[in-house]
Amino acid sequence: MAADELSRSGDDLEQLRKRIAAVLGPRRRQLTEAVMAEIEQEAIDRMAATLAAQFEFPGDFGLGCQTLQPGGSCPPVAPAPVAPAPVEKVKPAAASPAAVTPAPIEPKPETPRTPEPYARFGTSLDLGLPKLSLESNGFWSKLPPAGKIGIAAGVVVAVIGFAVLALRGSGSTVVANGPQVVAGSPLPAMESGWITDWGAEPGVRREREISILRPSLNLSDYRVEFQTQMEGKAVGWVFRAKDGKNFYVAKLEVVTPGLEPKVDVVHFAVVDGQSQPRTRSELPMKVRIDTVYRIRFEAVGDHFSTWVQDEKVDDWTDDRLKLGGVGLYSDRGETMPRPRTVSVVPLVIKR
């Protein structure tokens, strides 16, 4: 039923179109195709609206469009505009200048680069560690040359001192300008091992008093250490004592008595019973009347050395006596020293 009514409406529309064309025929030639199409479309739209209202057709006549073109069909749907693809602008290449032959460049000598100082810790990565600076702005850089030389000399002396102490601790000693020697086992120094009044002749007035440690009589090289106070005028000892008329003597002798006495270091030889000239020098330290003297003496070959309070105070050479014991000594009018302990250690020269 609806299809028949739609067919009749199409016929009526075609008749209307022909009637309009007949009315406008004389003037059609005078109108342009665009104006004629516009008039026809307007008339068709009005007729379609009237039919739609009369027959209750949907607005698009069931054809999917709101307006009809002549012939009863939907006008063509214009395609959706497509945005043109962006066109990348290309800059014209600059005209290349005419080829120019460059002038030869002489190579410059490379200047050595000074390495930059290391960055301080904490500049870029702070790990909380102590900062280390290589800049020369510390205490050392502010010292004058004389101060630097003094410090360097002190370090050298300290190193030598440590080396000497190490050698002493290991049982070795070094004699200046001489061979290295090795210490043996200490000799027994019990009271029964001492020979008192050694070398004294019966009926002869004694000019001196000597006590010899018996186990040392056949030795030539040894180290003697003891501690004592000066109860009289001097503290003396003998070494290389061959007999009562041939031996060496070393002693500390008071020159000026008092609470702080002036003391000399003395050494001499007795050969064939005759005292040889004495050599003396001032003790290079301050002492008091009650000072306990720490004495160390070494005889190695023809070289003899004396230390007081661990400081070398005398050093000399003499080759007249080669062998003999060691002991204590006092001249007439002096008090024989009574050391608390006496240590005698044989020394062996390393060849």
Q: Which residues contact 246 (CB under 8 A, 6 or more apart)?
A: 270, 271, 272, 321, 324
Cα–Cα distance between 61 and 63 in angstroms, integer?
A: 5
Least confident of 3-12, 88-97, 278-287, 331-340: 88-97
Q: With both helix axes pointing from N to C terminus, report the angle between 33-55 and 2-28 in degrees, rounded to the nearest 10.
A: 150
| Sign, Cα dihedral of 272, 278, 283, 288 | positive
**pLDDT (mean) for 25-33:** 60
Least confident of 11-25, 192-206, 277-291: 11-25
Cα–Cα distance between 69 and 75 in angstroms, integer?
A: 6
Among the ranges 143-147, 152-156, 264-268, 336-340, which has the highest mean pLDDT value?
264-268
Task: Please say if the pLDDT value at position 140 is more than 50.
Answer: yes
Closest CA to 36 of 46, 24, 23, 18: 24
Distances, alpha carbon 167 to alpha carbons 13, 100, 226, in Å: 138, 82, 20
Look up residue 226 and give its two tokens: 């003891």
More confident residue, 329 or 350: 329
343 confidence band (pLDDT: 50, 70, 90): very high
Length of the chain: 351
pLDDT of residue 174: 46
Contact of 345 with 223, CB cutoff 8 Å = yes
Beta bridge partners of 254: 263
Cα–Cα distance between 305 and 176 in angstroms, integer?
A: 10
Least confident of 62-76, 90-104, 169-183, 333-347: 90-104
Cα–Cα distance between 229 and 177 in angstroms, integer?
A: 33
305 confidence band (pLDDT: 50, 70, 90): very high
3-state secondary structure the chain: CHHHHHHHHHHHHHHHHHHHHHHHHHHHCCCCHHHHHHHHHHHHHHHHHHHHHHHCCCCCCCCCCCCCECCCECCCCCCCCCCCCCCCCCCCCCCCCCCCCCCCCCCCCCCCCCCCCCCCCCCCCCCCCCCCCCCCCCHHHHCCHHHHHHHHHHHHHHHHHHHHHHHHHCCEEECCCCCEEEECCCCCCCHHHEECCCCCCCCCCCCEEEEEEHHHCCCCCEEEEEEEECCCCEEEEEEEEEECCEEEEEEEEEEECCCCCEEEEEEEEEECCEECCCEEEECCCCCCCCCEEEEEEEEECCEEEEEECCEEEEEEECCCCCCCEEEEEEECCCCCCCCCCEEEEEEEECC
Q: Which residues contact 12 (CB under 8 A, 6 or more apart)?
A: 47, 51
Q: Which residues contact 253 (CB under 8 A, 6 or more apart)?
A: 233, 234, 236, 263, 264, 266, 280
Task: Please say if the pLDDT value at position 337 is more than 80.
Answer: yes
pLDDT in tens, 231-263: 889 999 999 999 999 999 999 999 999 999 999
**pLDDT (mean) for 171-181:** 57
Cα–Cα distance between 37 and 244 in angstroms, integer?
A: 166
207 phi/psi in degrees, rounded to 5: -95, -15
**pLDDT (mean) for 111-129:** 51
| The CATH number of domain 183-349, selected from 3.40.50.1820, 3.40.50.2300, 2.60.120.560, 3.40.1390.10 | 2.60.120.560
More confident residue, 351 or 195: 195
pLDDT of residue 202: 74
**pLDDT (mean) for 7-29:** 68
pLDDT in tens, 95-108: 444 445 555 666 66
Mean pLDDT of the chain: 76
More confident residue, 23 or 228: 228
